[in-house]
Structure 1
Amino acid sequence: MVDGVICGTWYWSRNLAGPVLEPGNDKVCFVAWRAVLNRLPTFQALSRRSIPVNSTECPVCGREEESADHILFLCEEAQAVWCLISQWCKVPPIYAFSVQDLVELHRYMSVPKDKAKAFHAICLITMWCIWKKRNDRVHNGAPVHVQGLYEEIKSLSYLWIKHRSKKRVTWED
């Protein structure tokens, strides 16, 4: 490939033309891609690479070791966010066993293709926003407020989908 790299079932390129990484934002897709490959710099991953960290506990909940799976969907705060996302999108509760499950969730929905693509974008944006909040907590000591995070996800999702959709998108959609 001239402009891309194939990694398992992922296709990563500058134009993000692959089936999984379609929403079109490099930062969002990059976080999802690294999470699926278990390459996010979580405390657990840093510790495994012999990089000194004070603790491998989750900086958000402090109850479990921080892994990509934990911070993105197993942490209580992340689960609360996913619960709000499922209610907002009018889909059954979102359960995942791995980050890969979250990335591929849209493929198993019985909805029109455009709605599945929008839901896929929302899932990737949710992972990115959770990761951003985690970093804000680690580097700035900022608290993680589930409701504020949810509102940020809704706003970003609407704007990104609206500006990337070929159809006219309204808030009600």
Structure 2
Amino acid sequence: MLKEKMLKALNEQINAEQYSALLYLSMSAYFNDMGLPGFGNWMYVQYQEELTHANKFFNYVIERGGKVEVKAIKQMPTSWEGVIEVFEKTLEHEQLVTSLINELVDIAIAEKDHASQSFLRWFVDEQVEEEANVTEILDTLKLINGQGNGIFMLDREMRTRVFVDTTTAAE
């Protein structure tokens, strides 16, 4: 059984993951509207990943006998100043999510909740990968100044990304 503080924090994380999903869906729409379907695809895969993360938290709360409280999701942005800003905001958001995951780990440690510590280890590792992937793309975008032929070449590369549910491999 989850302690009240851990349960509350996990429910907040479910909401944060759902917000992340819709933020990336909004970014996907933005890129498609710009005529950059590869970038749109990359963000759509991010959307799918964040939904699986939310579901992983959802199922964990239920497995541990907790009550899931699905909450309203705040409005996310729908426009940006260009490709570089989207990825700057994406990196900022992933850094926020990393801090939220770290706070969950801190709560699990304080509550001596070993099961939650074990569960959260996957998310700690996932966030390292998420930040590294976004940083790599952002660095490339800055090299090409977010425009010109380089943007079209990168867009073509982004089309090849496919969704793979990595949450099930960890179970």
State the TM-score bracket (shorter-chain normalisation). 0.3 to 0.5
The normalised TM-score by structure 1 is 0.32
TM norm structure 2 = 0.32
Q: Higher helix share goes to which structure?
A: 2
